[in-house]
Amino acid sequence: MQQNLPISGLHQIADQFCGILCDVWGVLHNGESVFPAAIAALEAYKAQQGGPVVLITNAPRPASEIQAHLDQLGVPRGCYDGIVSSGGVVQADLRALEHAKVYHIGPAKNHSLFHGVNFEFAEPQNADIIVCSGLNDRRVEEPEDYRPHFQDLLKLNLPLICANPDIVAEQGDKLVWCGGALAKLYEEMGGEVIITGKPFHPIYEMALAELNACAGKLLDKKDILAIGDGMPTDIKGANAQGISALFLTDGIHAADLSDDAQAVVETLDAKGLSVHSFMGRLGW
């Protein structure tokens, strides 16, 4: 049930749900440090309610790499049961291709996306597809820097597969551009864009299958809670799936939202979105 209810902690609604799909970046950590209260909340949910927690992220890398990053940051494996990533969905789709000539846009650290794929990197004029995992160097680049390059790419009629649909993400105390910003520009310029991460169905299909496997049974969507801080990804995706959402207002939208609960509800209404509950940062 969508209630748009302000809460102070997950404990107030935990007993209503048999499983959780939880966003990662901006919820459990900000790219540089973890949020201990969020970790404690998931641990308390698992301990007291016994339901599984599956992390669902738009990161453009497979689940094994997401887990390694979480380990490095100090997120205990005991606070979650599985991980599904946008990168993992794209990787599965690429593995289904007989052979792919890929023009990759994004940093070399995201090349793990192509592990197990029958492919070769190619220059645009020889490529079949563009795979965008992010800006090549988001420390110094802006999406608009890619406009001239995209004008040339559009002449080749290449579809662009976006491995990270997020427009921005938290990096410490600032926001940085993600692959979704480039996909948005490419589409606005007339290009074909394929997105399988949040808010679209393929990543939820994989995440729900993982959640059901962890639960050892088929969970009804009404008994699942999605937690996230992104309105166009986490909340829109949950709404499309018929899953209740807990919206965290102190994430990527913090600068646009006041502490006034009515203002949050009005912002959601204006975007055609609804949530079960909302709070600042995740806590028990």
The type of residue at 196 is: T
**Same domain, residue pair 44 and 128:** no
Does 181 lie in the same domain as 44? no
The larger pLDDT score, comparing residue 271 to residue 251, is at 271
Range(s) of the domain holding residue 99: 88-195
Q: Could you tell me if 221 and 258 lie in one domain?
A: yes
Query: Same structural domain for residues 111 and 239?
Result: no
Does 178 lie in the same domain as 101? yes
- CB of 212 closer than 8 Å to CB of 206: no
Query: 182, 107 in Cβ contact below 8 A?
Result: no
Residue after which a domain boundary falls, among 141, 171, 195: 195
Distance, in Å, from the CA atom of 135 to the CA atom of 46, rounded to the nearest integer, reads 36
Backbone phi and psi for residue 129, each to the nearest 5 degrees, phi listed first: -145, 160
Mean pLDDT (whole number) for 193-221: 97
Give the Cα-Cα-Cα angle 152, 113, 203 (nearest 5 degrees).
Answer: 95
Residue 259 in tokens: 């502490």
* Residue with the larger pLDDT of the pair 20 and 99: 20
Q: Do 165 and 141 belong to one domain?
A: yes
Question: Does residue 208 share a domain with residue 71?
Answer: yes
Pair 259, 188 in one domain: no
CATH code, domain carrying 26: 3.40.50.1000
Domain boundary among 195, 220, 248: 195
Checking if the pLDDT of 5 tops 60, the result is: yes
Overall domain count for the chain: 2
User: For the chain, what percent of residues have pLDDT higher than 90?
Assistant: 88
What is the residue type of 141? E
Q: Same domain, yes or no, for 169 and 98?
A: yes
Task: Indicate the pLDDT class of residue 155, thresholds 50, 70 and 90.
Answer: very high
Per-residue b or e along 264-282, where b marks 16 or more CB atoms closer than 10 Å to that residue's CB: bbebbeeeebbbbbbbebb
- How far apart are alpha carbons 49 and 224 in whole angstroms? 13
51 within domain boundaries: yes
Query: Which tokens belong to 226?
Result: 């999605």
What residues have CB less than 8 Å from 138, skipping those under 6 apart?
Answer: 176, 177, 178
pLDDT digits (tens, 9 = 90+) for 62-100: 999 999 999 999 999 999 999 999 999 999 999 998 898
Is the pLDDT at 104 greater than 80, yes or no? yes
pLDDT at res. 251: 87
Q: pTM for the whole thing?
A: 0.94
Specify the pLDDT at position 2. 60
Q: Look at residue 213 and tell me if it is in a domain.
A: yes
pLDDT of residue 1: 47
Average pLDDT, stretch 261-276? 93
182 domain residue, yes or no: yes
Residue 284 belongs to a domain: no
Q: What is the pLDDT of residues 163-194, one digit of tens each?
A: 999 999 888 888 889 999 999 999 999 999 99
pLDDT higher than threshold 70 for residue 200: yes
Residues 81 and 138 in one domain: no
Tell me the pLDDT of the chain averaged across its residues.
95
Give the list of residues 6+ apart from residue 126 with CB closer than 8 angstroms, or none.
101
pLDDT score recorded for residue 258 = 67
245 bridge partner residues = 226
Q: How many helices (H) and strands (E) does the chain have?
A: 8, 14
Look at residues 174, 195, 216 and tell me which one is the last residue of a structural domain: 195
**Token couple for 7:** 């809460």
Assess whether 77 and 103 both reside in one domain.
no
- Token pair in block for residue 101: 């000539």
CA distance 94 to 98: 9
C-beta separation of 171 from 208 below 8 A = no
> Average pLDDT, stretch 34-63?
97
- 108-149: pLDDT as tens digits: 999 999 999 999 999 999 999 999 999 999 889 999 999 999
Judge if 80 and 208 occupy the same domain. yes
- Of all residues in the chain, the percent with pLDDT exceeding 70 is 99
